[in-house]
A and B are shown apart, each in its own frame.
Chain A
Amino acid sequence: MTIDWLNFTPLSSLAGGLLLGIAASLLFIYSGRILGITGILEGLLPPKLGDTAWRFAFLLGLMVSPLVGQWLLPVDALHAPQIDASWPMLILAGLLVGVGTRWGAGCTSGHGICGLSRLSLRSLIATLSFMATGFLTVFVIRHVL
């Protein structure tokens, strides 16, 4: 293993992580809701009466973040994302992420951040599971195929 010091960004990543934790705390303390992107999306597919407004409000905030970020965040934090996956690969990956997060009842936000911080055994097992196949998948596509 060699560490990629050139692209290593401990400070901005830690600061970004703290913001994720602040957002999760805010949503729970104020509205009593768990900040899990999968869970929030699921509640809208299909929408259930009386349970949609907070989901839309949250998602709207999430969607305007790139716009607000343009004048709030440091310029070097806003480099254009590089997406290496091919089109068919993206579709396959999207389907797997959709099915997997639905079946496993959570993703990196719900299990990874909220669950781990609540010391939930379920979320620990889920996080270890998706990290394991995440590492394995990248190993296979980068070093085996």
Chain B
Amino acid sequence: MQRLIEFCAGLIFGLGLLLSGMTDPSKVQAFLDLAGQWDPSLAFVMGGGVLMAMLGFGIAKRKNKSLSGQVFHWPELRHVDRALILGSLIFGIGWGLAGFCPGPALVSMASGEVKAVVFVLAMLSGIVWFDRITRRAQEPLACAKDCP
């Protein structure tokens, strides 16, 4: 049952991305192009999403456990740091260059867009590569000899 609900959440999220226009990079870039022919549609996506999610998190806040009986994994980080800001600034550059963010890129890949496949592969490499260099920076001595 739980897996089915999670599957449905993914499905509804994908349908929302398709319906909203987020899976069309030219539409995303038209939203980001304030100086050109500006398409404000994506502000409505964000508005609708935030409003509805506010309701959902409001309900969750009044409960101790999720419906499946597990604890709520509320995000624990509170501080604003360099990583958060620099990372987000870098993400925005990539988002602007291609018009893809992670969710829509996955959906677009699933609908058979070859360019989206290439984007997703590059994105996954970026994640793995970043993990690798940060892990190496964290434990330079412990694994100086035989790193996996």
Contacts and interface: CB of A to CB of B under 8 A. Distances in A.
Q: Do A and B bind each other?
A: yes
B51 to A, nearest CB: 6
A141 interface: yes
A72 interface: yes
A15 B51 CA distance: 12
Given A16-B19, A20-B49, A22-B12, A63 B106 contact: yes
A22 B9 CA distance: 8
A97 B12 contact: no
Contacts of B75: 34, 115, 118, 120, 122
The size bracket of the interface on B is 35 or more
Contact of B7 (A16, A61, A95): A61
Tell me which of B6, B17, B73 has the highest count of chain A C-beta atoms within 10 A of its own C-beta.
Answer: B6
A57 B90 contact: no
A100 interface: yes
Interface string B132-147: 0000000000000000
Q: Is the interface of A mostly helix, strand, loop or mixed?
A: helix
B102 A64 contact: no
A63 B73 contact: no
Interface in B54-77: 54-57, 59-60, 63, 65-68, 70-73, 75, 77
Interface residues of A, number: 113
Contact of B38 (A2, A28, A73): A2
Contact of A26 (B5, B23, B63, B121): B5
B83 A105 contact: yes
Interface in B16-70: 16-27, 29-30, 32-42, 44-57, 59-60, 63, 65-68, 70
A137 B130 contact: no
A94 B32 contact: no
Contact of A117 (B16, B25, B54, B84): B54
B56 A28 contact: yes
6 contacts: A4-B37, A62-B103, A66-B112, A81-B24, A93-B100, A96-B90
Interface of A: 1-4, 7-10, 12-35, 37-38, 41-42, 45, 53-54, 57-69, 72-74, 77-79, 81-85, 87, 89-109, 111-118, 120-122, 125-127, 129-139, 141-143
